[in-house]
Each structure stands twice: as C-alpha cells, then as structure tokens.
Amino acid sequence: MRRWRNLTSPKTIFSISQHGASSAWLLGTNEGLWRYAGGEACEQIAEPLKNTLLTAVAAHNGTPAQNGLIIVGANDGIAYSGDGGASWTAGALREPAQIAFIVLSPAFDQDGVAFAATTGHGVLRSTDGGRSWVYRNFGLPDYEVTAIALSPMFPADGMLFVAVTGGLFYSINRGESWRLSPVPSEALPLSGIAFARNALIVGSESRGLYHSANRGTSWSKRSAFSSGPISALAVSPDGTKIAVATPMVVALSSDFGETWERTEGRMPRDPLSLWVDNDGTILCGTQQNGLWIYA
C-alpha cells in the first residue's frame, strides 16, 4: 500500500520538474537546484546556483538527462544550462523579473518555445530554447500571473492559458494576444491550471476546483473539492492522472476529476508544488517541510 515519506532536505521546494526520460526530478528550492532520483535523499547539483533561491525549474525531457537543457527562474530573471547544470548562462530579458513558473512546448525539440510567468511583469516567451525572452502581454489587464498551462496540442493549436489576478485568459496564437475565459468570478484568484488531455482543470485560492470539457468555454464545479483553497495542482505526463493538494489533503484522480482517492498516511504540510507520474506516484514540495513522496 502506498504511503507518504518525507525527506527533510532541502526544506522549501517551489517547483518540481522531471529530469530527462529517467525516474528523476529536479527541484527548484530556497537552497538552489536539487535532484531526486529515488531512495532516501536528494542531491544538490549546479554548484554555481548553490546559494540562489530558485522559484521555477523546467527540464527538456527529449534528450538524456545528463545532456538535457535545464531552465531555472529566480527573483531577478532566468538562466539556462545545456550540460546538466554544470555551467549556466543568463537568459536575455529586457529588465529583471521575478519568475513564478516556466513551461516548455511539447515540441520543444523542434520549436524551442518556452513561457515564463512572472509575479509583476506578465508573460515572457522564448523561441530560441530559453536564450532570450520577450514580453507577450497584449490583452492582459494586469501582469501578476498566478498560473500557466500549455495545451497538449500546443504545436498545432498554439493555445495556452494564464491566470492573472483579474481573471483567466487564453491565447490561440502562441501568446501574441490574450482573451478572457468565462471562468466564474467567485473562483478568482486562481492558484493552478492543468490540462488533463482535453479536460481543463483550474484551482481556486478559496473556492475549490473547476472543470471545463470545452477548453474554457463553459465551467462546472468539482463536487469533491467544491470549496476551500487549492494549494497546488498537477497532471501526469500522459494526461491520465490529476493530483491536487490543499492545506489538509492530497488526492489523486484517474478519471479526469470525477472521483478522487485520498492519499494515505501522514500528509505533507504547507504544500507549494506537485508532480504526479503516470503510475500515480506523487511528489509534493512544501514550505519548510521538505520533499514528500507518495509511492
């Protein structure tokens, strides 16, 4: 039977990303960049970033882990590494920005497209593999981004969603312009967005989960999480598993949010970040309580 176990170092984990095609994960933390590859301990990597607070991390999973591209975000910008974290180059930004999330195109191998969500400067886009970044905010009413997600069909449909304090917005032209999605106003502000194949799930900071079967045209509540705050939200790489964390519980759904299985054992406290694998393994990063693994 699956149970939670806790690794106490590093203490605060803002972001989790699978590292290459292996069963290993990168952790963006208050103590730099760490790697977890199973077992009873995490390993600190990327010596040049050892004392850097990293708020976001994304790894390119199309190449072997030791050679894959890693992009990290911090309070003042973005950096990338093409050698597994041994050396780093600052991404070119017009001005410093505090990075909250980084997401890569499903076709990153071919298009080199990545997006970064910021806490005060809106949305940044790169089309050259993370080397340079430009703002793409036309149509957004404010620039405090609280969540971002790309369509699984992004290379074909150019669709992505961002949540800002003023609402949920979508783009169908790779971020060139944004339109308002009619998510219920009482759901705002949002704390997470995730695509589960064709289903779109958003988490509210105070009103639970909302579901759309038509890419944001209409919305319904999820009865299992009809109220309360959603701390973090994640979907497995194959789009079949959804994990959700609240201050009190972490739960897993295998039917696009219709029903939920509450995880067993002592729960993570103060969750900040989630990752769920295709087999239902969950990683949960917390505020000052380390990394939790449900397996």
User: 23 to each of 38, 61, 102, 183, 229, how far by Cα in Å?
Assistant: 8, 11, 20, 36, 30
Q: What is the mean pLDDT of each run of 10 residues along the chain (295 residues)?
A: 92 93 89 94 93 94 62 96 91 95 93 96 96 97 96 96 96 98 94 92 94 94 86 94 94 91 90 95 97 95
pTM exceeds 0.85: yes
- What pLDDT score was predicted for residue 62? 61
Is residue 187 within 8 A of residue 167, CB to CB? The reply is no
- Give the Cβ contact number of residue 4 at 10 Å: 17
Is residue 105 within 8 A of residue 113, CB to CB? The reply is yes
- What pLDDT score was predicted for residue 21? 65
Domains of the chain: 182-295 (2.130.10.10)
Quote the tokens at residue 13.
């984990």
Which one, of 182, 141, 177, lies nearest residue 159 by Cα?
177
Between CA 151 and CA 163 the distance in angstroms is 14
Between CA 140 and CA 266 the distance in angstroms is 41
Indicate the DSSP class of residue 185: G
- What pLDDT score was predicted for residue 64? 46
